[in-house]
Amino acid sequence: MIRPATPADVPAIVDMIHALAEYEKAPDQVEATPEQMRDALFGPDPKLFCHLAVDGDEVAGFAVWFLSFSTWQGRHGIYLEDLFVHPRHRGGGHGKALLTELARICVERGYGRFEWSVLDWNTPAIEFYRSIGAVDVEEWDRYRLTGPALEKLAAAGG
């Protein structure tokens, strides 16, 4: 079963964020607190969304996403920030069910694209994404500013 997350799910969401970071070999990079996630997902004007895959009484996985926008298409899209299924639940269709629900939301709302990033060494995920028809966006590299570099640019002024 796929359903939107509720405030009661925040502890499970934070646990999955930590489990995903462990899988991606970056456990020390998680800074998100339960309070931050609760505010981001359920505050007065949320900009972040989460759907859960539930297997019986257990949360099996999650998809954390937000709206993007294509100026070329003139329409919003969904950017999938994180997709994670607990190892004990993998192979049960939970990841595909989460992606299917987000694709359904895209189509239902008239969004133009559904995008995400994947680590280049994550072969199981890459093979899974290709199996559902996703394609690698060639010719584009992703860039990021954080920490001191972000602060330095912000302080540079005009």
Known catalytic residues? 129
Quick one: which of 108, 11, 93, 92 has its CA closest to 50?
11
C-alpha span between 133 and 150 (Å, rounded): 35
What gap in Å lies between CA 126 and CA 55, rounded to an integer? 24
Write phi, then psi, for 126 (nearest 5 degrees). -60, -45
DSSP 156: T
Tokens of 47: 């900009």
- H or E segment to which residue 104 belongs: helix 94-109
Residues 148 and 46: their CA atoms lie apart, in Å, by: 27
